[in-house]
Amino acid sequence: MIKVLFVCHGNICRSPMAEFCLKDMLAKSGTANVTVSSAATSAEELGNPVYPPARQKLREHGIDPSGKRARRITREDYDGYDIIVAMERYNLRNMLRVIGGDPENKFRLLMDYTDTPGDVADPWYTGDFDEAWRDIEKGCSAMLERIKTGKPL
Protein backbone atom coordinates (compact mmCIF):
# COMPACT_ATOMS: atom_id res chain seq x y z
CA MET A 1 0.00 0.00 0.00
CA ILE A 2 1.30 3.44 -1.00
CA LYS A 3 0.19 6.33 1.22
CA VAL A 4 0.23 9.81 -0.32
CA LEU A 5 -0.40 13.08 1.51
CA PHE A 6 -0.90 16.33 -0.44
CA VAL A 7 -0.15 19.58 1.38
CA CYS A 8 -0.91 23.26 0.79
CA HIS A 9 -1.28 26.29 3.03
CA GLY A 10 -4.92 25.99 4.16
CA ASN A 11 -6.13 22.59 2.88
CA ILE A 12 -9.19 24.16 1.27
CA CYS A 13 -8.07 24.66 -2.36
CA ARG A 14 -5.06 22.99 -3.97
CA SER A 15 -4.30 20.04 -1.71
CA PRO A 16 -7.92 18.78 -1.55
CA MET A 17 -8.19 19.30 -5.30
CA ALA A 18 -5.09 17.12 -5.71
CA GLU A 19 -6.39 14.56 -3.19
CA PHE A 20 -9.69 14.10 -4.98
CA CYS A 21 -8.16 14.35 -8.46
CA LEU A 22 -5.72 11.51 -7.73
CA LYS A 23 -8.41 9.44 -5.99
CA ASP A 24 -10.60 9.79 -9.08
CA MET A 25 -7.75 8.84 -11.41
CA LEU A 26 -6.88 5.83 -9.26
CA ALA A 27 -10.49 4.63 -9.24
CA LYS A 28 -10.87 5.06 -13.01
CA SER A 29 -7.62 3.20 -13.64
CA GLY A 30 -8.53 0.36 -11.29
CA THR A 31 -5.49 1.04 -9.11
CA ALA A 32 -6.39 0.06 -5.55
CA ASN A 33 -3.09 -0.04 -3.69
CA VAL A 34 -2.93 3.69 -2.89
CA THR A 35 -4.35 5.76 -0.02
CA VAL A 36 -4.60 9.51 -0.56
CA SER A 37 -5.31 12.37 1.83
CA SER A 38 -4.47 16.05 2.23
CA ALA A 39 -3.53 18.55 4.93
CA ALA A 40 -2.50 22.15 5.59
CA THR A 41 0.66 23.71 6.93
CA SER A 42 -1.34 26.41 8.72
CA ALA A 43 -4.16 26.34 11.26
CA GLU A 44 -6.10 29.16 9.58
CA GLU A 45 -8.77 27.02 7.92
CA LEU A 46 -8.99 24.06 10.32
CA GLY A 47 -12.37 22.35 10.10
CA ASN A 48 -13.50 24.31 7.05
CA PRO A 49 -14.85 22.53 3.97
CA VAL A 50 -13.28 22.72 0.52
CA TYR A 51 -13.43 26.34 -0.68
CA PRO A 52 -16.53 26.80 -2.91
CA PRO A 53 -14.69 27.62 -6.18
CA ALA A 54 -12.39 24.59 -5.65
CA ARG A 55 -15.43 22.43 -4.86
CA GLN A 56 -17.10 23.71 -8.04
CA LYS A 57 -14.01 22.93 -10.13
CA LEU A 58 -13.95 19.35 -8.79
CA ARG A 59 -17.67 18.93 -9.49
CA GLU A 60 -17.14 20.15 -13.06
CA HIS A 61 -15.00 17.04 -13.45
CA GLY A 62 -17.54 14.74 -11.81
CA ILE A 63 -15.72 14.63 -8.47
CA ASP A 64 -17.54 15.17 -5.17
CA PRO A 65 -15.37 16.39 -2.26
CA SER A 66 -18.23 16.38 0.26
CA GLY A 67 -17.19 15.70 3.81
CA LYS A 68 -13.63 16.94 3.42
CA ARG A 69 -12.58 19.27 6.24
CA ALA A 70 -9.28 21.10 6.50
CA ARG A 71 -6.74 19.62 8.88
CA ARG A 72 -3.16 20.46 9.73
CA ILE A 73 -0.18 18.23 8.99
CA THR A 74 1.36 16.63 12.08
CA ARG A 75 4.66 15.02 12.97
CA GLU A 76 2.78 11.70 13.05
CA ASP A 77 1.88 12.17 9.38
CA TYR A 78 5.55 11.90 8.53
CA ASP A 79 5.61 8.34 9.83
CA GLY A 80 2.16 7.51 8.45
CA TYR A 81 2.71 8.48 4.80
CA ASP A 82 5.19 7.22 2.23
CA ILE A 83 5.28 10.44 0.23
CA ILE A 84 4.24 13.97 1.20
CA VAL A 85 3.62 16.22 -1.78
CA ALA A 86 3.58 20.02 -1.51
CA MET A 87 1.88 22.34 -3.94
CA GLU A 88 4.66 24.95 -3.78
CA ARG A 89 8.08 25.70 -2.29
CA TYR A 90 6.52 27.84 0.46
CA ASN A 91 4.61 24.75 1.62
CA LEU A 92 7.84 22.73 1.65
CA ARG A 93 9.49 25.28 3.89
CA ASN A 94 6.53 25.18 6.30
CA MET A 95 6.43 21.37 6.21
CA LEU A 96 10.06 21.29 7.30
CA ARG A 97 9.22 23.64 10.17
CA VAL A 98 6.16 21.64 11.32
CA ILE A 99 7.71 18.19 10.92
CA GLY A 100 11.22 19.20 11.96
CA GLY A 101 13.03 17.93 8.87
CA ASP A 102 12.80 15.31 6.14
CA PRO A 103 15.30 12.59 7.13
CA GLU A 104 13.68 9.94 4.92
CA ASN A 105 13.42 12.21 1.85
CA LYS A 106 9.62 11.95 1.63
CA PHE A 107 8.91 15.57 0.61
CA ARG A 108 8.19 16.37 -3.03
CA LEU A 109 6.67 19.13 -5.13
CA LEU A 110 3.73 17.99 -7.27
CA MET A 111 4.94 19.72 -10.42
CA ASP A 112 8.34 18.05 -10.12
CA TYR A 113 6.65 14.89 -11.43
CA THR A 114 5.98 16.71 -14.71
CA ASP A 115 8.11 18.14 -17.47
CA THR A 116 7.36 21.63 -16.11
CA PRO A 117 8.66 21.63 -12.52
CA GLY A 118 7.73 24.46 -10.17
CA ASP A 119 4.76 25.52 -8.10
CA VAL A 120 1.08 24.77 -8.59
CA ALA A 121 -0.66 28.06 -9.34
CA ASP A 122 -2.38 29.36 -6.18
CA PRO A 123 -6.02 30.19 -6.97
CA TRP A 124 -6.52 31.78 -3.54
CA TYR A 125 -4.51 34.73 -4.83
CA THR A 126 -5.02 34.50 -8.59
CA GLY A 127 -8.69 33.49 -8.61
CA ASP A 128 -7.80 31.19 -11.53
CA PHE A 129 -9.05 27.76 -10.52
CA ASP A 130 -8.74 26.56 -14.14
CA GLU A 131 -4.97 27.11 -14.10
CA ALA A 132 -4.66 25.41 -10.70
CA TRP A 133 -6.73 22.46 -11.96
CA ARG A 134 -4.54 22.10 -15.07
CA ASP A 135 -1.40 22.01 -12.92
CA ILE A 136 -2.92 19.55 -10.44
CA GLU A 137 -4.30 17.27 -13.13
CA LYS A 138 -0.93 17.24 -14.92
CA GLY A 139 0.95 16.47 -11.69
CA CYS A 140 -1.50 13.78 -10.60
CA SER A 141 -1.41 12.16 -14.05
CA ALA A 142 2.38 11.97 -13.86
CA MET A 143 2.17 10.51 -10.34
CA LEU A 144 -0.39 7.94 -11.48
CA GLU A 145 1.88 6.86 -14.33
CA ARG A 146 4.72 6.25 -11.86
CA ILE A 147 2.42 4.31 -9.55
CA LYS A 148 1.11 2.14 -12.40
CA THR A 149 4.60 1.40 -13.72
CA GLY A 150 6.09 0.80 -10.28
CA LYS A 151 8.55 3.67 -10.54
CA PRO A 152 9.57 5.35 -7.27
CA LEU A 153 7.53 8.32 -6.22
**3-state DSSP assignment of residue 47:** coil
Active site (annotated) includes residue 8: yes
CA–CA gap between residue 3 and residue 93 (Å, rounded):
21
Q: Which listed residue (108, 122, 135, 140) is catalytic?
A: 122
Q: Which listed residue (13, 14, 108, 140) is catalytic?
A: 14
Give the type of residue at 130: D
Q: Which listed residue (8, 13, 21, 140) is catalytic?
A: 8
Active site (annotated) includes residue 13: no
How many separate helices (H) and strands (E) can be counted in the chain? Answer: 6, 4
Mention every residue, 6+ apart, whose C-beta is less than 8 A from residue 101.
none
Active site (annotated) includes residue 122: yes
Supply the residues annotated as catalytic. Answer: 8, 14, 122
